[in-house]
Structure 1
Amino acid sequence: MIASIEQAHNSHYLVKDYYHSDNERPGVWVGSGAKKLGLQGEVHSEQMVNLWKGYPPEGDKKLVQNAGAKNRRAGWDITFSAPKSVSVAWGVADDKLKTKFEQAQQRAVLDAFQYLEDTAAYTRRGAGGKDAQEKVGLVAATFQHGTSREQDLQLHTHGLTLNIGTRKDGTTGALESHHLYQAKMAAGAVYRGRLSSESQQLGYKLSITEHGTFELSAIPKKARDEFSARSYQIQDYLNEQGIASSPQNKAKAAAESRKAKFHVDDDRLRESWQERAKKHGLTPERLQAARKEVKPLSEFDRRRKQQHMLREALDQSLYYKSAFTERELDRALAENSIGKGLTYADMKAEKQRFFKSKNAIELEGGKDKEFTTKEQLDLEEKLHTHTMNRWQDKSHTVNSQHLFEAISERPTMSKEQRTALTHVVNPGGVKVASGMAGTGKTFFLDAARETWEKSGYTVQGLSLSAKAASGLEEGAKVKSRTVDSFFGSIDYRRAQQEEKPMAVGQQKHSGIGSKTILLVDEAGMVGTKKMTRLFAEADSAGAKVVLIGDARQLQPVQSGGAFQTIARQVGEVELKEIRRQKEDWAKESVHAFADGRAKDALDEFDKRGLLSVAEGKGQLQAKLIDDWAKGDGAKEPQNHLILAQTNDEVKQLNRLAQAKRQELGELKERNAIVGKDRFFEGDRIMFRQNDRDLKVKNGQMGNILRVDNLRKQLIVGLDKSQRVSFSYETYDQFGLGYASTVHKAQGVTVSNSYILAGDGAWDRHTAYVAASRAKDSTKIYAEGDPQKRKAVKEKLSERMSRDAQKQLASDRMKEVRKAREPRRVGQQI
């Protein structure tokens, strides 16, 4: 993988033993640019020094305009690190197998550099690089290393990419670096894909892991952990500094906590490694015995695997949004090549086939070209058809007397809520109500449910998450379930009918019909595929669909944009009168965040002393926790919720909150260790997985009332007074619950909230959700120099105003058509 791409500094990269220690292989030149300069095979230091300064290997002329300048960017270190199991196998193997792993590593690095040269090697001409970009050949020196700075096994290659590119006409120029930065994740995936193929060729089975990587099945986890001192050291450093462990922060921490390498004899090192591995049953003999005979891929199998790779890559690329860039497809192809015995050449060939096919649709109009597929457009067309069918169905009338009674029984219902109620119960097969956070949507939906039920309809509540379904059931008294559970019940019913003989002409029944109301809460979170199936089922059964949501809140995790498109097509009723916040300025601030006017909202928070600025993540988190404790968060954590954007930030804030409560004597001594975490009696926890037997839902919270280590049990009091008891050895999907991600907090109402505006992709949607959770008070914490408060606010408001609303591909096409018709990339082959 690419660990980092950093600006090169002469004082660091030209240290002799960094690249030329006795234990390491000599450097090797790669790239067509190197070949054009006459550089092949082993790297020599004199060549390196001259190129570093911007001169040719012989040092007789300038290759770039600023050659020899002290402030010149010399190049970038692109580091490719093998999965830990490959490193362990390399270190434990006998000499012959060790050499094979080194060759595999080099071939994988060559594939990655070929990808970079194909897609990310550009230079400009003219003074200041004002002329057009040109593709160039790369000049890079690769240095293969086998140890970390703690002398643990870590097979990796430094690809020193020089800031020199060779053009087709033989001239040279400096590289456009932003292309390298954009390509680094995809290049890392290409490297891992080829290394997985090489590992399979050596006869090893693979375990495909998350995040687009793999491990050798023959290497036990305990053996991998034995040689992971550096990764633990970096994590400890991040924890000490109060920094979230993002890839960027890990790379920075690696540099800041780096120790100088020290020399240890290669033979002594290998003996030490083999002794340590032996404790876990891993020896050179066992490593050799784990290899199996490998048959070469037939052309038929290779083609089949290429096609499979493309299908998976397209599914991955369209999972989160309805269009993708070529770079995103590259990464998806590479990640889905892992374990298939394929190379970059296979990936490149399959991508070219796709772009020549009728399935590839190019969308233009943005900064980067985006693409979608005919299959995606067909899916969206189906959604449109089913939506229009439902809209044209003017049945589902209700008794006006029942509607009048529902309104009369709720004297506090506002005019806006009455309008929304009337809209959704009026005749029609599809209705949409869009309501801002805290406008009392479940209040009017309870009246709608009553009206429908008295009029003879069955109301089925649906939501994407179990917690949201539970909230709908509690607030509107609608029997509710998740969308996936609803589909599962339909599939089960149909499977049961398949097994039983059916009468001639009898239709398979889905369990819903023309007297069914499908009430979908948080509909803005439902992705396109699920929304399409939902409307298809409703259309087939003649059921009515009522969508309740807010397109300005969090966007669907999956490819989405369906909610706002349907609302635009069939019309919607809106609720804007916020009832959750008490003060007018707070209500207006929520509106400002929702509208993308974060600056106005942040100014209001700052004016009232509710915006804190501190330098450094550690200080900022400490300030937040102190305020949380002083505001009775330590005594009543259920009324004081901490919000952050990333899981790593949430983990760190949870640890700090727990430590503060322990310091203040709010936690009892009795505790249990579950996984890597310790839980005390009195701790607040969040459940992370639905469990029907326990009747707990993902995102639900409670307090630990009792720890019983004899029975390995916890007794937890849930926030709604219910108690649950469970074995923490059987069910361990929970964590501390003082802090939550903004995503998990959508739909939650608390008295007070504390927002860490730190890492993560903040935008107007996340800012709006975070700022609208609390009834009484909300405090925001931003990182920066307190003396430069205005600049800190400007930077934060820019992030919090960014629009990240998802669109259907068909909507993007309509925008493109204003300029010209979108074109197919190629013809079917």
Structure 2
Amino acid sequence: MTAASIPASAACDYAEYLDGKTVAPQQGDYYLGPGGTPAEAPGRWIGNADALARTGATPGRVEALDLRALMAGRRPGEPESFLRVAGPNGTRAAGIDVTFSAPKSLSIAWALADPVQRREIEQAHHAAVERAVDYLRERVELSARWDPASRRSRPVRAAHLHTAEFLHTTARGVGASAPDPQIHSHVIITSAERDDGRLTAIRSRPLLRSAREGGAFYRAELAQQLRELGYEIVAAGQDGRYFRIAGISTEAEQAFSKRAAEVQQAARQFRADHGREPERGELRALALRTRSDKHPHTRHELDETWIATAAPHGLTRQHVAALRDGEPADAPDRTAGWRAAVELAVTAKRAVFDERELRTVALEQAAGYGLAPRAALASTDNLRAAGRVLDLADGQMTTALVREAETQIEMSFRTMSADASRHVSDRDREAGIAIVEQRLAAALSIEQRAAVASITGAGRAALLIGPAGTGKGVVIDAAAHSERAAGRDVYGVAVAGRTAQRLGESAPALASRVKTIDGFIASVEHGRTPLGENATVYVDEAGMADTNRLHRLTELVQERGGAIVAIGDPRQLPAIGAGGMFERLAGTVPTVELHEVHRASDPAELAAWSAMRDGNAETALDYYRAHGHVHLSDTRTEAAEQAAQAYDRLAAEHGHDRVALMSDASNIEIDHLNLRIQALRRARNELSNDRVAHPAGHHLHAGDRIIWTQPMAVPGAARVENGHRGQIVDIDQAAGGFVVALDGDGRQVTVASGRLDIVRLGYATHVVREQGATVRRSVVITGGWQTSQETAYVESTRATHGVDWHIARDDLDGDHDADRVSHLARRMSTSRAQTPSLASELIDHRRASGDPHQALHIERLAAAVAEPALDTMRDRTPGLEP
């Protein structure tokens, strides 16, 4: 589900567009329209017919004049009679366009079905849309009422919504080629009726915030409708949030999306070549240039085109008709699997969550596990009653799985820190420090020596905290050399493979003994890596370690009698999954913090770094603006172009491996940046004409920079880790592969033609990949909703000689640049750090009279139900790397 506000100025055009889709071309219903799409069915009003009639509109089929009138806030047929008051600016918002899209597999089934089966699918979709809209009405405060006491408008739920649904069965036409089948409905919510009978505009923000929940309800209801028709439904997507029809392959889905993908790729290449988005006429020209010579003109030809597209994938009308017999009549109850999936998914990103997140996840998992949406929502109470979802005192929730994992991490660190069995003598410590000082040809600072002494102390657990650039790697190297001098084994681990490699580079004592956390655990459990009382494990960037991984590692080290040292900075990027334990552990076990920054020497810039770290971005931006390092463009596309040009100039001066180009936005933006820089280099003939086709639709040339997105095994040598970069030095056009010289040691490895999907262009990267890196200069595009205190701090501290910020005005509020920069400062000062559930006490319902979950949410019950479930959590950890 997506939602977009319709401004008053666009109401007429919007209504005409939707109504125009229902009008057949002059040749008649048999022919396709100018965009190659068929005429669609007329719109229909959904919701309470009496409430609609009170507005003066006619229930049933949507009449264009009725829709235009309601979007304008008027009573149909009475141009001077307004149904709702104008807003502060004197205009009336036209409404909200909520779009519900069916899974691609269902759209394919519809495209190949006979008329009867098509109507069944459409009716299932209609029912799901109508019930999802009603659910949003019940759940979301879409209206408002003036409160005289507080002199403020208070949000309230609507009694009724005035809603028109327009069913479209194809994607937007591209040129005159056959459109892809895509069942979706535009649902126009024009206004709401309160329980007192007054009509109001729709509050857009709460609806936009509830888009994920509403989409999940729609999919769960649609899946239920299809099961009742006999279709077998299977979970889809990496986290099972979506579903698909069994019997229609992903290859078929891709084939029916190929045309749109071709035009999207042509548009991406246009932006790469020109540094801007194509205009409407240019986009039309791209569509015409990439279309096939033959394109359908009639409905029959369109159906025949779809049948021909499906044939190579074994899909026929008969096959699709038989899909209605796919769901077994005696399908087993999968509620237990749904419960386990919800417990894992609801804390996939954070340790704590609210009621809406629990409802959303429950609905998302319902489609794949065969639960009707209302049944899934009711079952969330059972999760709480059974103590599997726990209420916290601050109003948030957590799961027993996460609560127990956090508790065990904390207990393990405290127990190990109190165990004085690890022994590193002063003599061994001085020997280790001497090795590092000889390598650096410089003495360690007083605080660095004190840090080495602290983390090699008698206890088996310690923390090292240091802001960016304080020389944590030097301290780790000296500590590891000290332990080796004492005859101990040392290992280095991190969440990401490239981070682990960087640990080995900054601390040569660990150089050949670094792994990912997953890889290290697997290696120990399979007997390939010895871990015993004589070993210490150094965990770099421990703040990025999610609770599950840190729990498994801590448990393993404690069981084997080893020691653990966690290193990081809680002000830098947090864990992607549930996390926050690194900061919580600080101070509860021996903890030492570094303060002296060595990466930069300008005191004013160091002050800006410190201000950014402390969440005082306004002070930091004052410094960067005064020195000409903040660059504003009107649009995000223009800001990206300026960032790409700046990086291109700096890379030519300093080398690509010494300049970082970072974004905190999506992979789409990073792809655009990479393709643009590649185009700039091609224009200067810096890249060879030898090239291979990449699965993403572009080409890789000899001379291109690439980055690995998955680990790659290398026979007889160390594997290439996720995040490692290099330069293509030779293309084997016959075989379709290439040779890459890796950054760092220059080792050359071959990427075979069948593995091209594990690399991508590597000029620009997400800020997450740059944590722990040090470069000479950096270029950043930021300022959108993803910007946070943590991303801004990491972005500001990667370079030894300065950072340039590229910002889009349309990402920020304000009429003047000073206002926009203030908005940017607020975003850069907003922390998105992970919070562990242990930061809040559990509610003890034994003291809460009248509570339906009385006596259930207590610490001892959490431990009781969590222990067996933790085994499941371990077994289902994604991304375990041997």
TM-score category, normalised to shorter length? 0.7 to 0.9
Q: Deviations over 1:315-363 (max 9, x none)?
A: 1121211111222222212221223333222222222433444344334
3-state DSSP of counterpart to 1:613? strand
Quote the Cα distance in structure 2 between the aligned partners of 1:53 and 1:729.
Answer: 57
2:688 counterpart letter in structure 1: K
Quick one: which of 704, 716, 722 aligns to 1:698?
722
Identify the residue that residue 617 of structure 2 maps to in structure 1: 598
1:31 counterpart letter in structure 2: G
Q: Deviations over 1:466-495 (max 9, x none)?
A: 1122222232222221111122134334xx
Q: Deviations over 1:727-767 (max 9, x none)?
A: 43132211111111110111111222111125461111111
Quote the Cα distance in structure 1 between the aligned partners of 2:50 and 2:595.
Answer: 63
Q: Deviations over 1:656-700 (max 9, x none)?
A: 111111112211221111212211111111111112326211111
Identify the residue that residue 438 of structure 1 maps to in structure 2: 469
C-alpha RMSD over aligned residues = 3.7
Identify the residue that residue 718 of structure 1 maps to in structure 2: 742
Quote the Cα distance in structure 1 between the aligned partners of 2:432 and 2:266.
Answer: 59
Identify the residue that residue 114 of structure 1 maps to in structure 2: 134
3-state DSSP of counterpart to 1:338? helix
Residue 292 in 1 paired to residue 325 in 2?
yes
Identify the residue that residue 340 of structure 1 maps to in structure 2: 369
Q: Deviations over 1:152-191 (max 9, x none)?
A: 2222112121211241x55554443322111112111221
Residue 826 in 1 paired to residue 853 in 2?
yes
Q: Deviations over 1:595-645 (max 9, x none)?
A: 112222222222222222222233322222332333343782122221111
Quote the Cα distance in structure 2 between the aligned partners of 1:822 and 1:236.
Answer: 64
3-state DSSP of counterpart to 1:426? coil
Quote the Cα distance in structure 2 between the aligned partners of 1:641 and 1:225.
Answer: 37
State the shift of 1:422 in Å. 0.8
Identify the residue that residue 506 of structure 1 maps to in structure 2: none
Identify the residue that residue 161 of structure 2 maps to in structure 1: 138
3-state DSSP of counterpart to 2:420? coil
Identify the residue that residue 868 of structure 2 maps to in structure 1: none
State the shift of 1:287 in Å. 2.3
Structure 2: tracts of 5 or more residues without a match: 25-38, 286-295, 858-882
Residue 24 in 1 paired to residue 54 in 2?
no
Quote the Cα distance in structure 1 between the aligned partners of 2:827 and 2:230.
Answer: 48
Quick one: which of 492, 501, 505 aligns to 1:470?
501
Identify the residue that residue 703 of structure 2 maps to in structure 1: 682
Residue 379 in 1 paired to residue 410 in 2?
no
State the shift of 1:570 in Å. 1.8
Q: CA contact under 8 A between 2:433 and 2:481: conserved in structure 1? A: no
Quote the Cα distance in structure 2 between the aligned partners of 1:53 and 1:629.
Answer: 50
Residue 513 in 1 paired to residue 532 in 2?
yes
Q: CA contact under 8 A between 1:644 and 1:650: conserved in structure 2? A: yes
Identify the residue that residue 577 of structure 2 maps to in structure 1: 558
State the shift of 1:285 in Å. 2.9
Identify the residue that residue 83 of structure 1 maps to in structure 2: 103
| Aligned pairs (5 A) from 1:481-492 | 481-492=515-526
Change over 3 Å in CA distance of 1:769–1:378 after alignment to 2: same
Change over 3 Å in CA distance of 1:701–1:161 after alignment to 2: same
3-state DSSP of counterpart to 2:578? coil
TM-score when normalising by structure 2: 0.82
Q: CA contact under 8 A between 1:364 and 1:822: conserved in structure 2? A: no
1:144 counterpart letter in structure 2: L
Quote the Cα distance in structure 1 between the aligned partners of 2:171 and 2:253.
Answer: 16
Identify the residue that residue 443 of structure 2 maps to in structure 1: 412
Identify the residue that residue 11 of structure 2 maps to in structure 1: 10
Q: CA contact under 8 A between 1:704 and 1:716: conserved in structure 2? A: yes
| Aligned pairs (5 A) from 1:256-275 | 268-275=298-305
Q: Deviations over 1:55-101 (max 9, x none)?
A: 67797986544499971123211111222332232122111111111
Q: CA contact under 8 A between 2:271 and 2:676: conserved in structure 1? A: no
- Range with greater deviation from structure 2 (336-345 or 394-403): 336-345
Q: CA contact under 8 A between 1:223 and 1:277: conserved in structure 2? A: no
3-state DSSP of counterpart to 1:159? strand
- Range with greater deviation from structure 2 (224-233 or 401-410): 224-233
- Range with greater deviation from structure 2 (652-661 or 75-84): 75-84
Identify the residue that residue 334 of structure 2 maps to in structure 1: 305
Q: CA contact under 8 A between 1:634 and 1:661: conserved in structure 2? A: no
Quote the Cα distance in structure 1 between the aligned partners of 2:792 and 2:383.
Answer: 39
Identify the residue that residue 812 of structure 1 maps to in structure 2: 840
Change over 3 Å in CA distance of 1:74–1:348 after alignment to 2: same
3-state DSSP of counterpart to 2:369? coil
State the shift of 1:824 in Å. 7.4
Change over 3 Å in CA distance of 1:354–1:287 after alignment to 2: same
Q: CA contact under 8 A between 1:360 and 1:824: conserved in structure 2? A: no
2:337 counterpart letter in structure 1: H
Residue 735 in 1 paired to residue 763 in 2?
no
Residue 797 in 1 paired to residue 825 in 2?
yes
Residue 607 in 1 paired to residue 629 in 2?
no
Change over 3 Å in CA distance of 1:239–1:37 after alignment to 2: farther
1:726 counterpart letter in structure 2: T
Quote the Cα distance in structure 2 between the aligned partners of 1:396 and 1:821.
Answer: 47
3-state DSSP of counterpart to 1:156? strand
Identify the residue that residue 505 of structure 1 maps to in structure 2: none
Q: CA contact under 8 A between 1:53 and 1:68: conserved in structure 2? A: no
Change over 3 Å in CA distance of 1:686–1:317 after alignment to 2: same
TM-score when normalising by structure 1: 0.87
Identify the residue that residue 454 of structure 1 maps to in structure 2: 485
Residue 92 in 1 paired to residue 112 in 2?
yes
State the shift of 1:116 in Å. 0.6
Quick one: which of 317, 323, 326 aligns to 2:352?
323
1:372 counterpart letter in structure 2: T
Quick one: which of 380, 384, 387 aligns to 1:358?
387
Identify the residue that residue 246 of structure 1 maps to in structure 2: none
Q: CA contact under 8 A between 1:2 and 1:187: conserved in structure 2? A: no
Quick one: which of 456, 459, 462 aligns to 1:425?
456
3-state DSSP of counterpart to 2:840? helix
3-state DSSP of counterpart to 1:163? strand
